[in-house]
Amino acid sequence: MIRILIADDHPLFREGLRHILAGCPDFTVADEASNGQEVFEKVWNNEYDMVLLDIAMPGAPGLEVLKGLKNEKPKLPVLVLSMYPEEQYAVRVIKAGASGYLTKGS
C-alpha cells in the first residue's frame, strides 16, 4: 500500500483527490496538509511513500517546501500539482527534485 500525503490549501480539491485515489487499491491517503508548515510537520513526524504537493499554498511557497523536503528526505517522491501552465513551473520544480508535475486541469 502506497501511503500518500495530499498537500493543498483547497479542501474541496483535497477531497476530490481523496475520492479519486480511493478507487486505486494500491494507494491510501494517509494524511492531508493545508499549508507549507503543516507539510513539514507531518513529513517529519510520519512516514509517507509519496507527497502530492500544491505549488501555491500559504505558510511557505511550494517551491521552498519542495526544496526542504528533498533536502531532508531526498528519496521521498514529490509530485507537484499546480493551476499554473506547465511551461511556467515544470522545469523549475523538476530541477528542484520533484518526481513530476501535473496541472490541476490534467
* Residue 6 belongs to domain with CATH number: 3.40.50.2300
What residues contact 71, with CB distance under 8 A and at least 6 apart?
Answer: none
If one counts the domains in the chain, the total is: 1
Flag whether pLDDT at 35 surpasses 70: yes
The model's pLDDT over 40-51, given as tens digits with 9 standing for 90+, comes to 999 999 999 999
Check: CB of residue 65 under 8 Å from CB of residue 7.
yes
**How far, CA to CA in Å, does 54 sit from each of 27, 31, 102, 105?**
19, 14, 10, 13
pLDDT of residue 80: 94
Flag whether pLDDT at 60 surpasses 90: no
DSSP single-letter state for residue 73: -
Flag whether pLDDT at 106 surpasses 70: no
| Structural domain range at position 70 | 2-103
Residue with cell 512516514: 47
